[in-house]
Amino acid sequence: MSAALAHRRVDLVRADAVVLGRAVRRALWTDEALALLPVGCGWNDGGCLLLADALCVLLGGDARLIAVVSGVDRVAQHYVVRLPPRHGPGWYLDADGAALYATLLRRWSEVERVRLPRLVPAANAVRHLDVPRDPQVSERIARWLRKQVKSV
């Protein structure tokens, strides 16, 4: 376990969204975590769907896979997870931590320059062919995150 996480374990089931988001962000932006991704991917450039699938596994059945799409088409620009209500209402999680709906959309509009971003269920979005989706990799990421963030 990284030294940054050794002092604070987070309960994946009961933690509020902000605490959970900080712990996930701290764990993921390390060389050890990035090595879990296919070559050429980062958490926000190709690996977001692998991570979102892993977070759904980790958080259980109430977590929902969501795509950030441009208002001009249905092509997914990014994938996040809508947190189950037990973590607080209206929160989304990705490698950058937890964010409320408006904050997440503002980031994808202003920072990532997605035109008219909106959130849709991932099943309603079109996935870029260059965005990998591999259940085995996502399971490996979920197992690793579980060890880093909290032993359940």
pLDDT tens profile 74-95: 999 999 999 988 777 789 999 9
Tell me what the pLDDT averaged over the chain comes to: 88
DSSP SS3 for 120: strand
C-alpha 8/C-alpha 15 separation (Å) is: 12
Contacts of 76 (CB under 8 A, 6+ apart): 49, 67, 68, 69, 122, 125, 126, 127, 128, 131
C-alpha 54/C-alpha 90 separation (Å) is: 20
Contacts of 121 (CB under 8 A, 6+ apart): 64, 65, 66, 67
pLDDT at 34 over 80: yes
Which residue's entry shows tokens 């959970």?
20
pLDDT band at 13 (very low <50, low <70, confident <90, very high): low
Contact between 128 and 68 under an 8 Å Cβ cutoff? The reply is no
Element (H, E) at 91: strand 91-94
pLDDT band at 152 (very low <50, low <70, confident <90, very high): very low
